[in-house]
Amino acid sequence: MADTDGWQGWANPFAGRAMTAGHSWPNLFATRGVTSTPLWPSALPGVGYSPRGIVTPFGVPVGGWDFGAGGVSAGELGQLPQWSIPGHQDWTLMYQSSYAPDFAAALGTVATEEQPWFNVGASNVTRMLRSAPRETAPAIEVTAEWDGYVEKISKDHFVARMRGLKGKGVEGSDEEAEIPMSLVDAADLDLVVPGGFFRLIVTDEKPKVGPKRSYTSVQFRRLPAYTKRDLDAAEREADEILNAFRLASGGQATGA
């Protein structure tokens, strides 16, 4: 099956080279011979894929990867130039999910600089993985959501038409709302125009510790802008309608 290593389709900037590590990381790839069991066979285009490759798009480890017969030694890794990006020193690293430490332990693999790092094909992109901290973000549940647009703007509020998308007593409803301007982020005020679209959501956040909290927010949508192509196509369509009407009334069609 094509792309079973998970990297095919992802450009390999290093063709033939590997990236430097300079650190000791739990190496998810150091277990040679782990059967490739990609969660997302890449023969299914459009199915969620991740540059994390080994695992699901959402960082859940479920198998290992056999990248082929070649390997990359620590010495070779050390040959690579350092790349840097402002504000981020570890750009070569891909972050594994919160489960990585346990996963690595479960596989019984710990790599060191002396050991061959990867069982990877030289033609494949090689990445070093470092565990991210276990997720501590609270679980968010959307209890209600509306899609709306601005009808009228007053000094301190705007009037909107909304359609309920989710929530008890909300879903499917057509509603009119008066929403205080203070709920709109200052950086989004230029989006508050007649016809401007927004989402109003009520969410519950359940932290790992502590009580549930409820939040209400108004988020204005950043939609595509009309392009010349859009406007030209609309004009052509308008010309077609007008010409059809002229012909129907016995007149002459005019060129578009």
Partner 1 sequence: MRFDWRQVAKPPAHDEAEITVIGPGFGECIVVHSGDGQWLIVDSCREPDTKSPVALHYLNALGVDPVHAVRWVVATHWHADHVGGLGEVFAACRSAQFFCAAALGEKEFIHYLTRTGRVTKPDNAKDFRQVFDELVTRRGTPFWTLGGRVLFTRPPTRVQPEFRIEALSPSDKEYSLFLDRIASDVRAKGVPYRAVVASDPNHLAIVLSLRWGNDALLLGADLLREATSDRGWLAAVSQGQTLRAPPADLVKIPHHGSAGAHSDEMWTNLLARKPESVLTPYSRGKKDGRPPKRSDLERISSLSRQTILTAPTESGRARKKNSAIALALSQRHIVTRRLKARIGIARFRRNIGSRNWNVELFGQAKRV
Partner 2 sequence: MAGQLENAKVNVLLVGTFDPNTVGPDRLGEAKVIRSDEAAAARFKTLVPGQVTDFTLGWCTVTVTRERFAVESAEPPFVKISDFIQKAISELMPQASVTAMGINRAYTIRFSSPEERDRFGTRLVPPSSWGNWGRRIQQTMATDDDKHGGVLNVTMKEFPIADREGGARHVTVAADVASNVSAQIIVNDHFQAPADSSLPAALEPDELARRRTNVILRALAEQFDASLNLLETIATEVVNG
Q: What element of type H or E holds 237?
A: helix 228-248
Judged by CB under 8 A, which stretch of 10-18, 21-29, 82-90, 209-217 contacts partner 1? 209-217
The interface region with partner 1, picked from 27-35, 54-62, 111-119, 236-244 by CB under 8 A, is 236-244
Tokens 């401007």 -> residue: 196
Nearest to 8 by CA among 121, 118, 129: 121
C-alpha 208/C-alpha 245 separation (Å) is 65
Q: Which of 41, 177, 188, 199 binds partner 1 (CB under 8 A)?
A: 177
User: 239 is in the binding site of which of partner 2, partner 1, none (Cβ under 5 to 8 A by kind)?
Assistant: partner 1
Q: Which is nearer to partner 2, 147 or 242 (CB)?
A: 147
**Residue 122 interacting entry, from partner 1, partner 2, none, C-beta within 5 to 8 Å by type:** none
**Distance set, CA 111 to CA 33, 116, 214, 223 (Å):** 15, 8, 44, 47
Least Å from the CB of residue 200 to partner 2: 9
Indicate the residue among 10 and 197 with the shorter CB distance to partner 1. 197
Distances (CA, A) of 215 to 57, 150, 200, 204, 212: 28, 21, 11, 6, 10
Q: 4, 31, 60, 115: which one contacts partner 2 (CB under 8 A)?
A: 60
Candidates 61, 121, 148, 196; binder of partner 2 (CB under 8 A) is 61
245 burial via Cβ count (<10 Å: 0-12, 13-18, 19+): exposed
What long-range pairs does 76-85 form, CB within 8 A, spacing at least 24?
76/17, 76/18, 77/18, 77/19, 77/20, 77/21, 77/117, 78/20, 78/22, 79/17, 79/20, 80/14, 80/17, 80/18, 80/19, 80/20, 82/20
x-marked contacts with partner 2 along 25-54 as a string, rule CB under 8 A? ------------x-xx---xxxxxxxx---
Q: Which of residues 144-173 bind partner 2 (CB under 8 A)?
A: 145, 147, 165-166
Residue 220 parent element (H or E): strand 213-220
Instruction: Name the token pair of 234.
Output: 């609309």
Nearest to partner 2 of 1, 137 (CB atom): 137
The interface mask with partner 1, positions 128-147, x = CB under 8 A, is: ---------------xx---
**164 phi/psi in degrees, rounded to 5:** -75, 130
Is-contact 25 128, C-beta < 8 A?
yes
- 238 touching partner 1, by CB under 8 A: yes
Task: Work out which of 178, 189, 206, 208 binds partner 1, going by CB under 8 A.
Answer: 178
- Residues found near partner 2 in the complex (CB under 8 A): 9-11, 13, 37, 39-40, 44-51, 56-58, 60-63, 83, 85, 87-88, 91-95, 99, 101-103, 106, 135, 137, 139-142, 145, 147, 165-166, 185, 187-188, 199, 201, 203, 219, 221-225, 227
